[in-house]
């Protein structure tokens, strides 16, 4: 199973908004604090009970860091390195904690012996759209000559 965290560019407030997908299907919105976020890349995921939250959470194996997980919250003040995962987003605020649902999905896959990975990347959609338009304009000019 693959979980994707697709990040947007950090804004002036230090919020990094994003989206979470499970096997290519939209799962929820994410929010991170730019001052504490971990690098883009590939990571292993596993579920376990969090002593801090006294609830099951999905942990992200980030080299050199500990206790990085998906959990609930509303603003970047609610996270120092973890990823908030929620059902709704309004600007730099999220609500509707989805971390228990994500735990169920990841834990089920893991208990069935399926490896569970996280791919963290930037949202390049706007770049692809711009390149597509630029290519179309270039083709148009090429055809006109």
pLDDT category at 53 given cuts 50, 70, 90 is very high
Of 43, 126, 24, which Cα lies nearest the Cα of 81? 43
pLDDT tens digits, one per residue of 78-128: 999 999 999 999 999 999 999 999 999 999 988 888 889 999 999 976 544
CA 75 to chain centre: 15
Asked if 44 and 31 count as a contact pair (C-beta separation under 8 A), the reply is no
Tell me the residue range of the domain where 80 lies: 2-144
Q: Exposed, middle or buried, 116 (CB in 10 Å: 0-12/13-18/19+)?
A: buried
Q: Tell me which DSSP letter residue 40 carries.
A: S
* C-alpha pair distances (Å), 11 with each of 18, 128, 136: 12, 20, 30
Q: Judging by DSSP bridges, how do beta strands 69-71 and 83-90 pair with one another?
A: parallel
- Counted domains in the chain: 1
Is 143's pLDDT higher than 80? no
Which pTM was predicted? 0.84
Read off the pLDDT of residues 7-49 as tens digits, 9 standing for 90 and up: 999 999 999 999 999 999 999 999 999 999 999 999 999 999 9
């Amino acid at each position: 199973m693959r979980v994707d965290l697709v990040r947007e560019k950090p804004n002036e407030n230090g919020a990094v908004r994003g989206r979470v997908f499970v096997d290519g299907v939209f799962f929820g919105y994410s929010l991170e604090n730019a001052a504490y976020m971990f690098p883009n890349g590939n990571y292993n995921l596993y579920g376990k009970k969090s002593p801090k939250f006294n609830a099951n959470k999905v942990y992200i194996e980030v080299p050199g860091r500990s206790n990085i997980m998906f959990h609930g919250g509303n603003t970047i003040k609610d996270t120092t390195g973890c990823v908030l995962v929620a059902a709704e987003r309004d600007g730099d605020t999220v609500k509707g904690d989805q971390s228990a649902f994500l735990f169920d999905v990841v834990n089920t896959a893991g208990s069935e012996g399926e490896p569970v990975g996280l791919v963290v990347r930037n949202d390049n959609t706007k770049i692809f759209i711009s390149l597509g338009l630029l290519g179309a304009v270039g083709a148009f000019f090429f055809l006109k000559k």
